[in-house]
Amino acid sequence: MMKRSKLVFAVCALVFIIAGGCKKEATAPASQAEPAATSAQADSSLSGKVVETMNSGGYTYVSLEKDGKRTWVAIPQTTVKVGQQVTCQPGMEMKDFTSKTLNRQFASIIFSGGLR
């Protein structure tokens, strides 16, 4: 009788482990699709000539100019120089962002993972 109880317990435990491992995550693909669309929009404007740069709070804030249009990009602190041509990784845009460390508000800024 004791052997049978142990066997039943082992089989049940195995079934629960297997069933738990087969669980499908339906939310993961949906959350991955949204940033990809946003990144594609931001990617086209994330290259250009550095016209202004400043470091603060672990970030480098870079104003890029391309085709007469300026775009602010925040990247992890990196050395860039005014006049340098750079391309940044895709990122997420934030509107009306206030940097507390710079005491400055940006109408639009893209937070990027860094330079390419």
pLDDT value, residue 107? 97
Using CA atoms, how far residue 100 sits from 7, 56, 97, 106, in Å, is 62, 9, 10, 11
Lowest mean pLDDT among 30-34, 54-58, 62-66: 30-34
Measured between alpha carbons, how far is residue 54 from residues 5, 18, 47, 113 in Å? 69, 53, 17, 17
Question: Which has the higher per-residue pLDDT, 11 or 40?
Answer: 11
Mean pLDDT of 52-63: 97
Residue 78, Cβ density class (10 Å: 0-12 exposed, 13-18 middle, ≥19 buried): middle
Which whole number is the average pLDDT over 40-69?
A: 87
Both tokens of residue 109? 């800024």
Average pLDDT, the chain: 80
| Domain residue limits, the chain | 47-112
